[in-house]
C-alpha cells in the first residue's frame, strides 16, 4: 500500500537529544577543522616527528613521508604521484627545506581536488531526481536526512522515496527522518518492488510540484550481483518515467573504511554511473586522505563530506576549505 505524508515547512525537532542539533557555534571552518582533527594530527604530528632535526630533504625523509601518506589512506597510486612530484621539485632545486613540505603538500592536494563549483542538484529540471546509493552502514540514511534538511533550508520542497524495501525498518527510519526535516515521503511495505516505489514517488512529486526527489536504495541484497541488478532496474525505471533522470547519482562512502571506499566507488560507478560522492564519517577517522584518492584516482567529484552528527555537519565540499582544515 502506497503512503504519502505531507510534512510541515519548518521541519524543526523539539527533542534536544536528537542529532538534529545544528551546532552553529564556531563557524563553518572551525567545525570542519574539528571534524578533520584526527587526520590533521596524523599527518602533521607524524611529519613533525620525521622532520625534527632535518636540515634538508633526502630520500630517507621522502620514504618516511610516503609511509605517512599511505597511513592517511591517500592510496598507493596517489601517494607515489605526490612523492614523485616532491622529488622532482627537490631535483629542480625548487624545494629543499623540510619546513616547507606541509605548504607544498597543501598546494598539491588542492591541485588534485580543484573542481569547477556547481550547484546541487545540477539540473534545471523540476523535480530534480537524486538517486542515493551505497552499502549498508556507511551513513546513507542520515546523509539523506541532512541533505534533505539543507535543501529545505533553501526553501525547496523535498520528497523522499523509500526504495530500500529489503532491509527491515528502513522505511520506518526514513519516515522518522522525513518528519524531522519537514519532507514528504513515499514508500511501501518491506519486500515491495523498489522500482515501483521510485515510480510512485516521481508521480507524486510531479503532481505536487516538488523541487527535489531523493531516492533511497538498498545497500545489501543476497549477492553483490543482485544488488547491482536491482540498482540498475531502479535507475532504468526512473529514466523511463522521467527522461534524463536521475539527474544526480550520489554514492555515500564511509571514510573510516579507507581503501574499501575506492573499491565500492568503482563498483557502483560501473553499475549506475555515479556523478558524485558523499564522504561520510570524516570526523571519526585519521584517514581523511581517502577524499584525495577518490578524486584523483576515480575522477569522481566530491559533492559533500560529513564531519559530525549535526544537520549542518554535512558540508558542501570546498577543496580550499578542506585542505586548509587538513593541514593548518
From first to last of its 328 residues, what are the pLDDT tens digits of the chain? 355 554 444 433 333 334 444 444 456 678 778 888 888 888 888 888 888 888 899 999 999 999 999 988 888 999 999 999 999 999 999 999 999 999 999 999 999 999 888 899 999 999 999 999 999 999 999 999 999 999 999 999 999 999 999 988 999 999 999 999 999 999 999 999 999 999 999 999 999 999 999 999 999 877 888 999 999 999 999 999 999 999 999 999 998 888 889 899 999 999 999 999 999 998 877 788 889 999 999 999 999 999 888 898 998 999 999 998 888 8
Phi, psi of 317 (to 5 degrees): -75, 125
CB 268 within 8 A of CB 292: no
Looking at residue 25, its pLDDT comes to: 45
Task: Please give the tally of structural domains in the chain.
Answer: 1
Provide the Cα torsion 185, 186, 191, 196; round to 10°. Answer: -150
Angle (CA) 271-189-247 rounded to 5° is 35
CATH number at residue 79: 3.40.50.300
Contacts of 174 (CB under 8 A, 6+ apart): 141, 144, 145, 160, 162, 164, 185, 187, 216
Q: How far is residue 39's CA from residue 35's CA, in Å, rounded to a whole number?
A: 9
Looking at residue 1, its pLDDT comes to: 39
How many DSSP H helices and E strands does the chain contain? 13, 9
Contacts of 173 (CB under 8 A, 6+ apart): 141
Q: Give the domain range for residue 303.
A: 1-328
Looking at residue 164, its pLDDT comes to: 96
Looking at residue 4, its pLDDT comes to: 55
- β pairing state of 128-133 and 248-254: parallel
Amino acid at each position: 500500500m502506497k503512503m504519502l505524508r505531507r510534512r510541515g515547512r519548518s521541519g524543526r525537532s523539539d527533542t534536544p537529544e536528537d542529532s538534529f542539533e545544528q551546532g552553529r557555534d564556531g563557524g563553518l571552518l572551525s567545525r570542519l577543522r574539528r571534524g578533520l582533527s584526527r587526520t590533521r594530527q596524523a599527518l602533521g604530528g607524524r611529519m613533525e616527528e620525521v622532520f625534527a632535526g632535518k636540515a634538508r630533504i633526502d630520500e630517507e625523509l621522502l620514504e618516511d613521508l610516503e609511509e605517512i601518506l599511505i597511513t592517511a589512506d591517500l592510496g598507493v597510486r596517489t601517494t607515489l604521484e605526490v612523492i614523485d612530484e616532491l622529488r622532482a621539485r627537490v631535483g629542480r632545486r625548487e624545494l629543499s627545506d623540510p619546513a616547507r613540505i606541509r605548504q607544498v603538500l597543501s598546494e598539491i592536494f588542492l591541485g588534485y581536488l580543484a573542481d569547477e563549483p556547481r550547484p546541487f542538484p545540477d539540473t534545471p529540471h523540476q523535480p530534480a531526481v537524486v538517486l542515493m546509493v551505497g552499502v549498508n552502514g556507511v551513513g546513507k540514511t542520515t546523509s539523506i536526512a541532512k541533505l534533505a534538511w539543507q535543501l529545505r533550508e533553501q526553501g525547496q520542497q523535498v520528497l523522499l522515496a523509500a526504495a530500500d524495501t529489503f532491509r527491515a525498518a528502513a522505511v520506518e527510519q526514513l519516515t522518522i527522518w522525513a518528519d524531522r526535516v519537514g519532507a514528504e515521503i513515499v514508500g511501501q511495505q518491506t519486500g515491495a518492488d523498489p522500482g515501483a516505489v521510485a515510480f510512485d514517488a516521481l508521480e507524486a512529486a510531479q503532481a505536487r510540484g516538488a523541487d527535489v526527489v531523493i531516492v533511497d536504495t538498498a545497500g545489501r541484497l543476497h549477492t553483490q550481483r543482485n544488488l547491482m541488478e536491482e540498482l540498475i532496474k531502479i535507475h532504468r525505471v526512473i529514466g523511463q518515467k522521467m527522461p534524463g533522470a536521475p539527474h544526480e547519482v550520489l554514492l555515500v562512502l564511509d571514510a573510516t573504511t579507507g581503501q574499501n571506499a575506492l573499491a565500492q566507488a568503482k563498483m557502483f560507478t560501473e553499475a549506475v554511473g555515479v556523478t558524485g560522492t558523499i564522504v561520510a564519517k570524516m570526523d571519526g577517522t585519521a584517514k581523511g586522505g581517502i577524499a584525495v584518492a577518490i578524486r584523483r584516482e576515480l575522477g569522481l567529484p566530491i559533492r559533500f563530506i560529513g564531519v559530525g552528527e549535526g544537520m549542518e555537519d554535512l558540508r558542501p565540499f570546498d577543496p580550499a576549505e578542506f585542505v586548509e582544515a587538513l593541514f593548518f
